[in-house]
Amino acid sequence: MSLAQRKRQFVSNELTEAALQLLALKGFDTVTVDEIVATAGVSKRTFFRYFASKEDVVVQFLADMGTGMRAELADRPAGERPSQALLHAVSVPVAACADHSDRALRVVQLILRTPALLARFLERQAQWRDDLAAELAHRLELDPDAELYPRLAAGMALTAFDAVLHRWSGSDATEDPLALLDRAFTVIAPALDTVGRTA
C-alpha cells in the first residue's frame, strides 16, 4: 500500500470511528455531518470525498461482506455439501462481528434499529443473495434462470445470517455469533442438501 493509500485509509478510519461513536451515543437521527467532521478533525469537504452521506459511513462497515461471502463459497471444495459450503461462506461476516465485537455490535444495533439504515442494509443483502445464487448455480452446474434452487438456497443462508445478527445484537453480544450460526444451519441444512441433490 502506497503512502497516499495509507493516508486515505487512515482518514476513512478516523471518520468512521468518529461517526460510530457519535451515532452510538446520540442516535442516528440527531447526529449531523458537521458534528462528525468536528469530532474527526477534518473538513466537510474531506468528508464528502470519502462518503456520500452519514448513512454511507455506517453501511461501509458491512460493504465488503458480500464479496467475502461469494469468494469464500467459490473457494470451497467442489464436492462439499451445499449446507457446509454456505455455512462457511456466511461465517465470514459473522466471524468479523465476533473478532470486533464492541465495534460491530454498535454498528449492527444502529443498522437494525434505524429504518433508513436497515433499508440500505436490506438492499445490500439482496445483492449478496444474487451473488451467492450465481456462485451456487456455477458450483452445481445449474441454470440460475431455470432452477429455483440457487436463489432459494442463498435466501435461506442469508435468512440464517439475518436471524443470527438480530439474536446476537439483541443479547448485547453475550451470545457467541458463530455458535448461533451453527444452530441456525442445523435447522436449514436438511432442506439445503435435499434440494441440492434433487435440483
The CATH number of whichever domain residue 127 belongs to comes to: 1.10.357.10
Q: Does a structural domain hold residue 16?
A: yes
Integer-rounded Cα radius of gyration of the chain: 19
Q: Could you identify the residue written with the cell 467442489?
A: 78
Tell me what the mean pLDDT of segment 139-159 comes to: 94
Confidence of residue 24 (pLDDT cuts 50, 70, 90): confident
Residue 172's CB is within 10 A of a number of other CB atoms, namely 10
Q: Does a structural domain hold residue 88?
A: yes
Q: Does a structural domain hold residue 105?
A: yes
Confidence of residue 23 (pLDDT cuts 50, 70, 90): confident
| pLDDT tens by residue, 158-196 | 999 999 999 999 999 999 999 999 999 999 999 999 864
Do residues 30 and 86 share a domain?
A: no
Tell me what the mean pLDDT of segment 22-47 comes to: 89
Query: Is the Cβ–Cβ distance between 126 and 43 less than 8 Å?
Result: no
Do residues 136 and 88 share a domain?
A: yes
Tell me what the mean pLDDT of segment 24-31 comes to: 86
| pLDDT tens by residue, 98-141 | 887 877 888 888 889 889 889 888 988 999 999 999 999 999 99
Rounded-to-integer distance, Cα 125 and Cα 159, Å: 10
Q: Could you identify the residue written with the cell 462481528?
A: 97
Do residues 131 and 169 share a domain?
A: yes
Per the structure, the count of domains in the chain is 2
Range of the structural domain that residue 87 is part of: 64-198
Tell me what pLDDT residue 4 has.
83
